[in-house]
Amino acid sequence: MSEQDVVETVRQKYAAVAASGLGNEDAAVRAVAEAFGYSAEELASLPAEANMALSCGNPTATANLRPGEVVVDLGCGGGLDVLLAARKVGPTGRAIGIDMTPEMLERARQGAVKAGVANAEFRLGRIEALPLDDASVDCLISNCVINLAPDKAAVFREMYRVLKPGGRVAVSDIALKQALPDELRRSVEAFVGCVAGALMMDEYVALLAAAGFVGVRVIDTHKDLLAYAQVEGQSGCCSPAMESEQACCAPAVGDSPTFHATLGDLVRRYDVNAYAASVQVFALKPA
């Protein structure tokens, strides 16, 4: 499969999640977010559509955001981290979400309106070619998205370009602790599910350093990746509270499994925690 085919497959899978009824009303969706570091209070403060159980961490908890800063979320999805970041930087700051999936951006914009957040904006784009000016950003965050980019070196070069001198990176991602089995490494579903496209931890450090970053750290959070199975296994999109959501509860197009069903199957069939880890990534652009 070509790089463009992989990108289009990822876009279609996440567009389907955006069109589903998954949201913060579902206890299993909230449980996944809490397992990866969000507080119940943070989740309760968000519109339902912001959380779709797609996180592997909570970058806003470690980014040390300050009033007046410009923060950008790479691959913002439904806007969960953008909305939290917008509150931290306050009315004199800006929170910008970048995503390549129009359906996700529409969901994020609706959530921002519902939340009454006026200092958030959302832009269509690839994280390998960010729609941002040079040296215009104080802090870059991301949540389980960089692993989906085929050309991660290009992503890191773009991150360096758009950060101001002295700007910082605070990213949550999936990284590998050891090489994957061949079946898992070649699986498109595992790539879309944030595993097969992940870098080894030392590769992550090396590529960020090659892009010019200093103070690079990739820290294993020791979060349980089996948490993802809760959405499809415990509650799923067709929980009793959501049976009226046709977009969610109808069979998937072509009878293919949903994103969360596929991801749940992967983490159950393989000892994913033995190969991969939820990590926090920190780096600085020299002042």
- What is the set of domains in the chain, with CATH numbers? 3-284 (3.40.50.150)
Q: What is the distance between the alpha carbons of residues 236 and 125, in angstroms, rounded to a whole number?
A: 30
Q: What is the pLDDT of residue 43?
A: 95
Contact 89, 207 (CB under 8 A): no
Q: What are the residues whose beta carbons fall under 8 Å from the beta carbon of 179, sequence distance 6 or more? A: 185, 200, 275
- Number of Cβ atoms within 10 Å of the Cβ of 206: 14
Are 97 and 76 in contact by the 8 Å Cβ rule? The answer is: yes
pLDDT at 243: 34
**Residue for token digits 């729609």?**
131
Q: Give the pLDDT score at 249.
A: 32
Torsion sign over Cα 202, 205, 209, 210: positive
The per-residue pLDDT of the chain, averaged, comes to 86
Secondary structure (3-state) at 18? helix
* Token couple for 78: 């439904």
Residue 160 pLDDT > 90:
yes
Task: Report the distance separating Cα 154 and Cα 30, nearest Å.
Answer: 33
pTM of the predicted model over 0.85? yes
Q: State whether residue 271 is helix, strand or coil.
A: coil
Tokens encoding 204: 């992550």
Which pair of structure tokens corresponds to residue 255?
Answer: 């009878």
> Rg of the Cα trace of the chain?
18
Instruction: Determine which of 78-87, 173-182, 203-212 has the lowest per-residue pLDDT on average.
Output: 173-182
